[in-house]
Amino acid sequence: MLILRRLLTYAAQRVATDPRVQAKAGEVYENTVRPRAKAAAGKARANLDFARAELSDLAAETDPLTNPLEFAAKAKRRLFDPD
């Protein structure tokens, strides 16, 4: 088992230092990974902005410091059960 682990480690090191593999990894990152990550970040930002606005409105209606249970219940209904 130790021989297999050493062999795999050696192979991984050889592949990681190969300039062709590094160039392909950079290309894949720029053309595939980065655009998907940007799209996901944009969608997450929109969702966070919506939740922030909803919670701000809710905090104006119900004080979360004096009545946390009612605030949490309303937040759950408003954010997770938008019926």
How is the chain split into domains, by residue range?
A: 15-80
d(CA 39, CA 10): 36
Q: How many residues does the chain have?
A: 83
CA end-to-end distance (rounded Å), the chain: 57
Q: Write out the DSSP string of 12-78.
A: HHHHHH-HHHHHHHHHHIIIIIHHHHHHHHHHHHHHHHHHHHHHHHHHHHS-TTT-HHHHHHHHHHH
Concatenated DSSP letters of 60-83 = HHS-TTT-HHHHHHHHHHHHH---
pLDDT for position 31: 96
Report which DSSP code applies to 10.
H
* 83 residues of the chain, pLDDT tens digit each: 889 999 999 999 998 899 999 999 999 999 999 999 999 999 999 999 999 999 999 999 999 999 999 999 999 998 887 66
